[in-house]
Amino acid sequence: MTSGAVIELAGVTKVYGGSGPAGVRALRGISLRFRPGQYVSIEGPSGCGKTTLLNLLGLIDVPTEGEIRWDGVNVADGSERERSRFRLRSIGFIFQRFYLLPTLTVRENVELPLRPRMRGRAERHARVSELLESVALADRAGFYPSQLSGGEEQRVAIARALANSPSLLLADEPTGELDSDNALKVLDLLETLHRERETTLIVVTHNPEVARRARRHLTLRDGRVESDLREEP
Ligand SMILES: Nc1ncnc2c1ncn2[C@@H]1O[C@H](COP(=O)(O)OP(=O)(O)OP(=O)(O)O)[C@@H](O)[C@H]1O
Ligand SMILES: [Mg+2]
């Protein structure tokens, strides 16, 4: 069980390409607060800033202005090294294109994020087996990504994102390249993990059916929050 944090974006803007006339204002002053264990969807037209927002939440990129706070502490102002250490420990990221390393097996892909922290080989091996079990891929451990279906690849990516039991799980169009059967399986899996581990789950999607499964629904437009609907008290 992870002990979740309250995660906040405070006055966040993101400008790509400098402040000159060529700069793209991808986010224009976003303030949001996520309670631990929340399940949130983010929708909005192409180019409205969804991936940018997720990259900032995932500390893959830093805001131009504003803060990203975990329990009140700004986690976006550290060095790149500090940010990546924090990310590895606390955040899991799932992309539309699975980004598995093609020259590594399923087992090795999932093991990668464990290496810096879990020194013992046997311990790592056991952890990877448990993760592959949880995504129903124990029998594919020795396969290479090219030998898997799209749904299987995405499940490996999920196992990898979960390796260090993150308290925040970010997914950018996780079902975008899957057929509806596999999309359902991947969503079920994410939701089980969210429920059982009380992981905060934020899913960007163009698919209204996927979005409907969340309990809080954000819509972005033109770098701003257009609506923020909650089904919970
Ligand atoms: N690295 C970058 N450099 C310059 N501009 C960028 C960069 N990344 C994104 N942008 C611009 O910022 C805006 C927001 O992009 P973003 O990728 O966040 O949109 P999105 O909502 O995820 O769109 P989609 O639904 O198509 O994935 C777009 O106008 C895009 O062209
Ligand atoms: Mg995007």
From ligand 1's centre to the CA of 176, what distance in Å? 17
Question: Does ligand 1 lie within 6 Å of residue 26's CB atom?
Answer: yes
- pLDDT value, residue 26: 97
Residue of the nearest CA to atom 2 in ligand 1? 16
Nearest CA to ligand 1 atom 7: 16
Reported as a single tens digit per residue, the pLDDT across 154-180 is: 899 999 998 888 999 999 998 888 888
Query: Hunting for tokens 């309670």 — which residue is that?
Result: 35
pTM summary value: 0.92
Of 24, 61, 62, the residue with max ligand 1 atoms within 8 A of its CB, to mutate for a pocket test, comes to: 24
- The Cβ of residue 96 has, within 10 Å, a number of other Cβ atoms equal to 18
Q: Rounded to an integer, what distance in angstroms lies between the CA atom of residue 149 and that of residue 54?
A: 26
Identify the DSSP state of 19.
Answer: S
What is the number of other CB atoms lying within 10 angstroms of the CB of residue 126?
Answer: 12
What mean pLDDT is predicted for residues 220-225? 98
User: Which phi and psi angles does 124 have, rounded to 5°?
Assistant: -65, -45
d(CA 15, CA 83): 20
Categorize the per-residue pLDDT at 232 as very low, low, confident or very high, splitting at 50, 70 and 90.
low
Q: Which ligand is nearest to the CA of 47?
A: 1
Closest approach atom of ligand 1 to CA 16 = 4
Ligand 1 atom 28: residue of nearest CA? 47
Structure tokens at 191: 């939701």
C-alpha dist (Å) from residue 187 to 117, 173, 180 = 28, 11, 10
8 Å CB contact between 35 and 6: yes
> Which of left, alpha, beta for 198 (phi over 0: left; psi -120 to 50: alpha)?
left
SS3 208: helix
Residue of 42, 48, 57 to test ligand 1 pocket, by largest number of atoms within 8 Å of CB: 48
State pLDDT tens for residues 31-49: 999 999 999 999 999 999 9
20 residue type, one letter? G
Residue 25: CB atoms within 10 Å: 16
Q: Which of 12, 27, 50, 220 to mutate to test the pocket of ligand 1 (most atoms within 8 A of CB)?
A: 50
Q: 159, 135 in Cβ contact below 8 A? A: yes
Give the HSE-up count for residue 8: Cα atoms under 13 Å, Cβ half-sphere: 12
CATH architecture label of 37-62+80-230: 3-Layer(aba) Sandwich (3.40)
CA of 224, nearest ligand number: 1
